[in-house]
Amino acid sequence: MPVNTTTPPWTISAEALNLPEDAAFPRSNYINGRKRTDGNGRFNTVTDKYHGTALAHVPLATAAQMDEAIAAAVAARSALRRMSAGERSRNLAHLAHAIEENADVFARTIMQEAGKPIGYAEAEVARALVTVRTAAAEALRLTGEQVAMDFGKGIGRTAITKRIPIGVVAAITPFNFPLNLVLHKVAPALASGCPVVLKPAPLTPLTSLLLAELIDGVGWPAGAFNVLVATNEVAEVLVRDERVAMLSFTGSDAVGWRLKEMCGKKKVALELGGNAAVVIDEGTDLAAAARNVAMGANLYAGQTCISTQRIFVVKSVFDPFRDLLVREFHALRAGDPADRDVAVGPLIDRKHFRRIADWLDEAIKGGARLLAGGKPVDTEHNVFAATLLTGTKPDMKVFSEEMFGPITLVEPVRDFSEAIAQVNNSRYGLQAAVYTNNLAHMKQAHAELEVGTVVINDIPGFRIDSMPYGGVKDSGLGREGLRYAMEEMTEPRLMVY
């Protein structure tokens, strides 16, 4: 399928990319390869999360438009299935090049609509390039297998499988990684031959709308990627529709499990967050660990699924580690995400800003002690200080729930085994980290920690985009990471002869 050359394929149109000093952000949904400025008569206002100014008013899609997008995706399915792996890989490589050519536009958009510090926004764009390029490579490696048959009644027969794209994928994404988490669903789907209907987070839809124009510009068939900003009621049309083969959702556990109940016979992949923990063992480099953990707890105001929230320190090294950690927390700068020295930017909205303050107040009233922070830095701009607590209890929200904010707890434990037990004392199980040089403790952590990933000598926020990513318990089901997501989005079809 040829690349669209009617317009320069590597540049987002002036209408789409104009930034505040020029004009405006995208103001349309994207259905069947066309921008749609009509909707239900109401608009979703997207704001600059630090300044509070309006960036764009995007029309809210109707249920009929959602139906139209699903129909377009169904129609695109046959065209995608006819594309060779080489064609899909080539188009993804073109998409990566297009994103790279517009990297500054994406980074600035992410910074403004998500309130993400500019350096972290640029890092997200860089990761997105890895995501798409890895998908391009994996498109060429998506194969079946020969099944062992040469025994019993299978003697003399041969059996092989091939991977078949599952069909239309419904993708629902959160606000915190508006480019890379979208691409963790879209890139493996397109690599596998599956069309996508995306409902992005209403707080951060502009990045997805910019992405849609690039995808359309590099040769994918109309309907292969559709983006609709919609109410929850209209999103339920997407979730319930029997023409949709799979739901891939990233967000809160409460919403994720409720959507799973609506899905009927669909395949479901859920990434539902957690309250990530770190274990600090004896014999590790405490200063390096404190530096990494402080950043891992507070970068982007702790608004990632694998931000460090709970730290358990073996008692013999608790005091020196706590003191080092307090120093690192005090050194973190909070404020305007456009400032390259800022690590702790604004909370995504006023509701979450108030929730952070409420949970902190509850913990302190219950006996927790402040070691650092504990107050707003800038109430007008929803910036809260990097906050460190000790003396917390498992029934406190700061311990048991997903904080999604710059509040962290550090507690002493008797020994490594007690640390493992404390990490597991959670309804979540996404990623955990262990700082240790003890091989036996590494093996114990791998065997006993109830999480999807155990990271050794780094923070739980460590993620390479090709690795299998997902959790257990209330952290979800299924795995992302390009090859693993492609396995979720395809089914093996067996032929015996």
* Cβ atoms within 10 Å of 119's Cβ, excluding its own: 17
Report the C-alpha gap between 35 and 33 in whole angstroms.
7
Nearest to 434 by CA among 425, 426, 451: 451
**The amino acid at 90:** R
Q: Are 266 and 245 in contact (CB under 8 A)?
A: yes
First-to-last C-alpha distance (Å) of the chain: 34
- Long-range own/partner contacts, residues 447-455 (CB < 8 A, 24 or more apart): 448/420, 448/424, 449/420, 449/423, 449/424, 450/423, 450/424, 451/274, 451/423, 451/475, 452/479, 455/431
Q: Are 410 and 322 in contact (CB under 8 A)?
A: yes
Match 């991977």 to its residue by tokens.
Answer: 163
Which one of the listed residues 113, 122, 138, 305 is annotated catalytic? 305
Answer whether 199's CB lies under 8 Å from 225's CB. Answer: no
Which residues are paired to 472 by β-bridges? 429
Q: How far apart are CA 333 and CA 342, in angstroms?
A: 5
Note the Cα 263 to chain centre separation in Å: 21
Q: Is 271 a known active-site residue?
A: yes
Strands 476-477 and 267-271, sheet pairing: antiparallel
Contact 436, 342 (CB under 8 A): no
Active site annotation includes 305: yes
Residue 350, both tokens? 């006023």
Residue among 130, 132, 127, 97 nearest 110 (CA): 127
Contact 304, 275 (CB under 8 A): no
Strand extents, DSSP E, 272-406 = 277-280, 310-314, 369-372, 376-378, 383-384, 387-390
What is the length of the chain? 497
Taking CA 367 as the corner, what is the angle to CA 362 and CA 369, rounded to the nearest 5 degrees? 95
Q: Which residue has the tokens 């065997």?
A: 447
Q: Which residues are catalytic?
A: 271, 305
